[in-house]
Amino acid sequence: MIIETLSTFPGMFESVMGASMMRIAQEKGLLDFTAYDLRDWTHDRHRTTDDDPYGGGVGLVMKCGPIFEAYQDITNIDLGIEPDSASGNEQPRTGPAPRHADAAKPKTIFLTPCGRRFDDALANELAAEERLLFVCGHYEGIDERVYELADYQISLGDYVITSGELASMIIIDAVVRKIDGVLGADGGALDESFADGLLEYPQYTRPADYFGRNVPEVLLSGDHGAIAKWRHEMSLLRTAELRPDLLDEIELEKDDLNFLKSSLSERRS
């Protein structure tokens, strides 16, 4: 998979993309990652990517010109933009050439509070794509005209963070770990929280007895059928107690419904 980001602070990606599973995915050749600097598509000596909003207001808005020009170069799609024409530009673009101009057109993602709420289903949807381009906002917002480029507008939730760079890192991590071969264990991503709509079951490791705090006996039994049953039931119970809203989206089997009814009744009594 090819993943590219376009932002005013590309250095923010270095630590996350250079460590742990993101680094391993690149070393395995499963991920080709590039962080582009939006300032490379500016034309003034200050490399300006933002300006005051029309109509007044607090904060600065990211300019549409650098984003349109960058998209045109990165995707090799003609948008009718002529960066070096007589449009007030002081100097030509001087940044490095895009790496994948001849690759398939990317699915372009904008991180915005107006977007679709990010979840595991959307992570699976994005993981099936060949190429993703994240356009990361900053400051007060982005000039509305560039949203015509968006294939996806995504929000992490109902809160505000400093930048789209932070949000894109979370989405990239969630997507890349779903690519076959990235995780060490086969099917590792299939057993995690939300993969089947439920929260993941509790996990334990050595020692089995830590000052009277014991691992459940079933996990020490070696009975794989019993362990699988216990894990499924614990996922059901944990979801019902901590995220009951998730159960509204799942059609549970009769045995699961009976288990939950009995277990929750016991815990409340």
Give the number of domains in the chain.
2
- Say which amino acid occupies 196: D
pLDDT (tens digit, 9 = 90+) per residue, 220-259?
Answer: 999 999 999 999 999 999 999 999 999 998 999 999 999 9
- Asked whether residue 181 is assigned to any structural domain, the reply reads no
Cis preceding-peptide flag for 207 (omega within 30 of 0): yes
**Torsion, Cα of 107, 124, 170, 248 (10° steps):** 130
27 and 121 in a single domain? The answer is yes
94 and 221 in a single domain? The answer is no
11 and 99 in a single domain? The answer is yes
Range(s) of the domain holding residue 21:
2-176
Asked whether residue 180 carries a pLDDT value surpassing 90, the answer given is: yes
- pLDDT of 191 reads 61
- Asked whether residue 127 is assigned to any structural domain, the reply reads yes
pLDDT (tens digit, 9 = 90+) per residue, 21-38?
Answer: 999 999 999 999 999 999
Strands 209-210 and 131-135: unpaired
With residue 115 as reference, give the H or E element that holds it. Answer: strand 107-117
The candidate with the shortest Cα–Cα distance to 60, out of 135, 129, 8, 122, is: 8
Asked whether residue 185 carries a pLDDT value surpassing 70, the answer given is: no
- Asked whether residue 87 is assigned to any structural domain, the reply reads yes
Q: What is the CATH number of the domain that holds 20?
A: 3.40.1280.10
Q: What are phi and psi of 145, to 5 degrees?
A: -65, -25
CA distances from 8 to 13, 38, 51, 79, 212 (A): 11, 5, 14, 22, 53
Residue finishing a domain among 176, 202, 232: 176
